[in-house]
Amino acid sequence: MNEVIDQIATKAGIAPDLAEKAVGMILGFLQREAPDGPVTKMIESIPGASDLVAQYNGEETGGGGLLGGLLSAVGGGGGLMALGQQLMSSGLSMGEITSLAKETIATARQHAGDEVVDQVVSSVPGLHQFI
């Protein structure tokens, strides 16, 4: 996974340790929000991604603060908003999050293929705006 994280970190312009945590949080979010079949296939296709999800899967749960909770309660994409808030709390700017999300999805496409990744992306409301 280190090679994959280093590639994503370099392309997104952020430190590898921060990229590792953020990619784990992003993949964990997708695992919770997307249909089990395609997202499992996508995560298992990326070398070391399953371990990364397991390591950082608890980072985003229960978070989101008041805004994330309110948006979730009214169906306004609180899951995605909560993830963004968690990533910003980790020290990433909105531009870095967008860049990191794009690179993570591009890497997923390299390993899992366009069809699988497209199924995952289209199943999470609002995600296509960030990638």
- pTM here is 0.83
Q: Domain spans of the chain?
A: 2-130
pLDDT tens-digit profile, the chain (131 residues)? 789 999 999 999 999 999 999 999 999 999 999 989 999 999 999 999 999 999 987 643 444 444 444 444 444 445 888 899 999 999 999 999 999 999 999 999 999 999 999 999 999 988 888 78
Whole-number Cα distances in Å, 68 to 1, 44, 100, 118: 30, 29, 21, 25
Q: How many helices (H) and strands (E) does the chain have?
A: 8, 0
| Pairwise CA distance, residues 5 & 21, whole Å | 10
| Pairwise CA distance, residues 69 & 27, whole Å | 21
